[in-house]
């Protein structure tokens, strides 16, 4: 097994061996570990931020991205085991919330330690089926139009052909992970689940977030924050305060 220092799956922007809790963060579709880089300097000293770096982005740009949730979660579980040697929490935004959820269930099936709490952000509960048009198989011109409509890719990236050539395989892979996902019923998780949503998010409503309570046998809470689907940036300080409070209560 590779050591934590050699592990390409996780980025620690500010290593903190004295931390009592690790916060393992999964990116949204098309995102890389660096979307969480600011958090390392904003969280309390007792929390060590660990950001997941899936293949196809960042330092792993030349690697083939995953296209299905099961393979992604199995590979992540094997690679991230060295980081489960102390209490940890999981955070995922949008696609990242789905991956974090299945990661926690996979750990349970493998008899590995589970999270003390899980934060799911900007994503409907996994038992609610996808209803939109599949995007990952669209021809490139239509795919680019949909990316612009979703407002998740910066305009300067969309307007840069060389950058988009690098990004399209990652985005297609991530959309495939979400759009081919098949929920299988299992017992609820033992950890607390806290869900977050954006008050102005047109795609994810309060009811679809409240449905996450079915996935825990422990405490559940929902917090709606100012902002659209990417409220994790516009309400960053508020969100990090809530994460810290919940982790403190879960230890």
Give me the active site residues, please: 94
Spatial distance between the Cα atoms of 251 and 235, rounded to a whole number of angstroms:
25
| CA-to-CA separations, 72 to 13, 40, 96, 104, 230, in angstroms, rounded | 23, 25, 11, 13, 23
3-state secondary structure of 1: coil
Rounded to whole angstroms, the Cα distance separating 36 from 51 reads 7
Q: 99 in helix, strand or coil?
A: helix
SS in 3 state form for 118-132? EEEECCCCCCCCCCC
Region of 94 please: left (phi>0), alpha (psi -120 to 50) or beta. left
């Amino acid at each position: 097994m590779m050591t934590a220092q050699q592990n390409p799956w996780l980025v620690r922007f500010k290593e903190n061996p004295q931390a009592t809790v690790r916060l393992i963060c999964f990116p949204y579709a098309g995102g890389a570990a660096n979307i969480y880089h600011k958090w390392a300097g904003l969280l309390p000293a007792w929390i060590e931020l660990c950001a997941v770096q899936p293949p196809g982005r960042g330092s792993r740009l030349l690697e083939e991205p995953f296209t299905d949730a099961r393979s992604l979660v199995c590979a992540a579980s094997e690679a991230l085991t060295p980081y489960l040697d102390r209490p940890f929490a999981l955070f995922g935004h949008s696609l990242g919330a789905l991956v974090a959820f299945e990661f926690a269930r996979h750990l349970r099936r493998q008899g590995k330690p589970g999270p003390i709490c899980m934060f799911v952000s900007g994503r409907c509960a996994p038992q609610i089926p996808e209803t939109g048009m599949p995007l990952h198989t669209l021809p490139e011109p239509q795919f680019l139009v949909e990316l612009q409509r979703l407002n998740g890719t910066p305009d300067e990236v969309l307007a840069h052909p060389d950058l988009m050539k690098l990004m399209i395989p990652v985005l297609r892979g991530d959309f495939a992970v979400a759009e081919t996902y098949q929920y299988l019923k299992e017992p609820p998780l033992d950890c607390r689940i806290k869900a977050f949503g954006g008050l102005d998010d047109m795609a994810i409503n309060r009811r679809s977030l409240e449905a996450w309570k079915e996935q825990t046998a422990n405490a559940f809470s929902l917090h709606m924050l100012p902002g659209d689907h990417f409220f994790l940036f516009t309400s960053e300080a508020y969100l990090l305060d809530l994460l810290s409070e919940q982790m403190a209560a879960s230890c």
